[in-house]
C-alpha cells in the first residue's frame, strides 16, 4: 500500500429483508419535516411508498413530497428541489430509489441553506459546501451506483450539454442507507444489468491504475468475481435472493472508497460515459458498457501487466504458454462474452449515438490522468468512433 491515506466512512448500513424496520431507529434522530424524494413511480407500484409513508407518520413526521426525480437528475429539477426544501424548512431528506434519487438528495442537501445557484457552485466552480447541510438518508431500490455509501452526486445540465459528478465529503454522505435486496426485484431486466455493469466498471476504474502490489487490487478482484458470478445467476433467475443480495452488497463496496485506497484510479470510462449521457440521456450503466471495450483496448498496451492479471485472476484464464499480450487480449474477450451474456449495450449506436454527435461528446468529456494512459482529445474521438 503506497502513499499516505485516511479511511473513514460515516454511513450506517442496514442490510437484508428486515432492514426497513430500522427507519424507526433512525428517524427520531432528525427533525420533524422530511422531504420524501422519489422517482417516476416505481415505489408506488411496488408498495414501498405506502410502507414508508406509514413509518414516517408513525414517527410523527410532516412529509414534503418531492416526486419525479428522473434518471440522470437535471439541474432544473435540483433547483426545484432546493426551492421546495427552503419553502418548507425541511429537516431531513429521505431518498427512496436508485442512484439518481440518492445523488439528487445529496445535491439538495448542500444547497438548501445556500443562496448560490447549485449547478454553478458545485458543478462549474466545484466549490465545497459553505452552508449548513441538511442530513440525508437513503432507501435503495436499485443496485449499481454506490451512492448509498458515498459522497457522489451526479447532475445533468441539458442546456449546457454537461453531466458532471461532484464527490462531496463525509458530512454529505448519507447518514444511513437501507438495503433490502428484495426491493431490487421489481427492476426491469435492462436496469438490473445496467446496474451490474456499473458496479463492475466502478471496480475496473480503480483496478486499472498503478503498478504496485496493493491489497485494494485483491479486494477488487474478489468483488469482480462475485459480481460476475451473481449476475449470471440473476439474469437467468431475477428472483434469486442470494444473487441479488450479493449484487447489492458488492455495489456498495465497489464505490464506497475502500478499494481506491492507495490507488491513483482511472475513471475515464465514466468520463466518456457521462459525456454520452450528457448528449443522449442514456442509461448510465449502458453508456459505460458501450465505450468500455474500445477504451480498454486502447489503453491495454500501457497497462499490459494489469490486463494480463485481470485475465488470470478475474476470468480464470490459464496463463500457460501465453505472452502478457495474449493473456490481456483473452481477458478482454472474456469481459466481452460476459457483457454479451448479461445483455448490456455493446456499442454507442444502440444508444442512438450517430457519427455527427461525436464532436459534442468529445467536447463534454473531462480528461483525467490517473489511469495507464492520459487520453487527449484525438484519442477520445478515436475511442468514441471505435465505440459506434
Q: How near is the Cβ of 170 to Zn ion at its closest, in Å? A: 21
- Tell me the Ramachandran region of residue 281: left when phi exceeds 0, alpha when psi lies from -120 to 50, beta otherwise: left
Question: Does 187 participate in binding ligand NZQ (rule CB under 6 A)?
Answer: yes
H helices present in 237-283, as ranges: 241-254, 268-280
72 binds ligand NZQ (CB under 6 A): yes
* DSSP three-state, residue 382: helix
Residues 246 to 305 in contact with ligand NZQ, rule: CB under 6 A: 255, 270, 284-285
CA distance 307 to 330: 9
Q: Does 206 bind ligand NZQ (CB under 6 A)?
A: no
**Count of alpha carbons within 13 Å of 251, Cβ hemisphere only?**
34
Sheet bearing 12-15, strands edge to edge: 12-15, 176-179, 136-140, 92-97, 33-38, 62-66
CA-CA distances (angstroms) from residue 387 to 266, 342, 357, 359, 375?
A: 19, 19, 12, 14, 15
CB of 53 to Zn ion, least distance (A): 30
Q: How far is the CB of 100 from Zn ion (least distance, A)?
A: 12
Hunting for cell 429539477 — which residue is that? 77
183 binds ligand NZQ (CB under 6 A): yes
Nearer to Zn ion, 204 or 308 (CB): 204
Chosen residue from 142, 178, 254, 358 binding ligand NZQ by CB under 6 A: 142
Contacts of 81 (CB under 8 A, 6+ apart): 35, 37, 66, 69, 104, 107, 108
Shortest Cβ 154–ligand NZQ spacing (Å) = 4
Q: Strands 152-157 and 162-167: what pairing?
A: antiparallel
| Stretch touching ligand NZQ by CB under 6 A, among 78-86, 126-134, 147-155, 312-320 | 147-155
Site string for ligand NZQ, 149-178 (x = CB under 6 A): -x-x-x----------x-------------
Q: Which of 129, 135, 146, 371 binds ligand NZQ (CB under 6 A)?
A: 146
22-34: string of b/e by CB count within 10 Å (b at 16+)?
bbeebbeebeeeb
205 binds Zn ion (CB under 5 A): no
- Residue from 31, 40, 238, 262 touching ligand NZQ (CB under 6 A): that is 40
171-200 residues near Zn ion, rule: CB under 5 A: 198
Task: Name, in order, each residue with C-beta under 8 angstroms of 316's C-beta and a sequence gap of 6 or more.
Answer: none
Q: Closest distance between ligand NZQ and the C-beta of residue 89, in Å?
A: 26
Q: State the residue number with the nearest CB to Zn ion.
A: 198
Residue 323's CB: how many other CB atoms inside 10 A?
11
* 109 or 150: CB nearest Zn ion: 150
- Give the binding site for ligand NZQ (CB under 6 A): 39-43, 46, 71-72, 97-101, 103, 141-142, 144-147, 150, 152, 154, 165, 183-184, 186-187, 191, 195, 198, 255, 270, 284-285
- Give the binding site for Zn ion (CB under 5 A): 198
Amino acid at each position: 500500500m503506497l502513499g499516505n491515506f485516511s479511511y473513514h466512512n460515516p454511513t450506517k448500513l442496514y442490510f437484508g429483508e428486515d432492514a426497513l424496520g430500522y427507519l424507526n431507529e433512525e428517524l427520531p434522530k432528525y427533525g420533524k419535516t422530511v422531504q420524501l424524494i422519489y422517482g417516476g413511480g416505481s415505489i408506488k407500484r411496488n408498495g414501498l411508498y405506502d410502507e414508508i409513508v406509514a413509518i414516517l407518520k408513525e414517527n410523527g413526521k410532516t412529509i414534503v413530497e418531492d416526486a419525479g426525480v428522473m434518471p440522470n437528475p437535471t439541474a432544473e429539477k435540483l433547483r426545484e428541489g432546493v426551492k421546495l426544501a427552503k419553502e418548507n424548512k425541511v429537516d431531513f431528506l429521505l431518498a427512496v430509489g436508485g442512484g439518481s434519487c440518492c445523488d439528487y438528495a445529496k445535491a439538495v442537501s448542500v444547497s438548501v441553506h445556500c443562496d448560490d445557484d447549485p449547478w454553478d457552485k458545485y458543478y462549474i466552480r466545484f466549490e465545497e459546501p459553505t452552508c449548513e447541510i441538511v442530513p440525508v438518508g437513503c432507501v435503495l431500490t436499485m443496485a449499481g451506483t454506490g451512492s448509498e455509501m458515498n459522497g457522489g452526486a451526479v447532475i445533468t445540465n441539458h442546456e449546457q450539454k454537461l453531466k458532471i459528478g461532484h464527490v462531496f465529503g463525509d458530512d454529505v454522505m448519507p447518514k444511513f442507507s437501507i438495503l433490502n435486496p428484495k426491493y431490487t426485484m421489481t427492476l426491469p431486466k435492462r436496469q438490473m444489468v445496467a446496474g451490474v455493469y456499473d458496479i463492475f466498471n466502478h471496480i475496473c476504474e480503480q483496478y486499472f491504475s498503478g503498478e504496485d502490489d496493493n491489497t485494494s487490487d485483491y479486494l477488487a478482484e474478489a468483488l469482480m468475481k462475485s459480481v460476475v458470478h451473481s449476475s449470471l445467476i440473476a439474469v437467468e433467475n431475477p428472483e434469486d435472493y442470494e444473487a441479488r443480495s450479493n449484487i447489492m452488497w458488492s455495489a456498495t463496496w465497489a464505490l464506497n472508497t475502500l478499494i481506491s485506497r492507495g490507488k491513483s484510479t482511472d475513471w475515464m470510462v465514466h468520463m466518456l460515459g457521462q459525456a454520452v449521457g450528457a448528449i443522449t440521456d442514456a442509461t448510465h450503466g449502458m453508456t459505460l458498457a458501450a465505450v468500455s471495450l474500445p477504451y480498454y483496448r486502447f489503453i491495454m498496451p500501457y497497462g499490459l501487466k494489469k490486463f494480463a492479471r485481470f485475465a488470470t485472476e478475474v476470468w480464470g484464464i490459464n496463463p500457460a504458454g501465453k505472452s502478457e499480450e495474449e493473456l490481456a487480449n483473452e481477458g478482454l474477450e472474456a469481459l466481452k462474452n460476459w457483457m454479451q451474456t448479461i445483455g448490456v449495450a455493446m456499442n454507442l449506436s444502440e444508444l442512438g449515438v450517430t457519427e455527427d454527435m461525436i464532436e459534442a461528446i468529445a467536447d463534454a468529456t473531462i480528461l483525467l490522468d490517473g489511469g495507464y494512459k492520459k487520453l487527449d482529445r484525438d484519442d477520445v474521438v478515436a475511442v468514441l468512433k471505435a465505440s459506434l
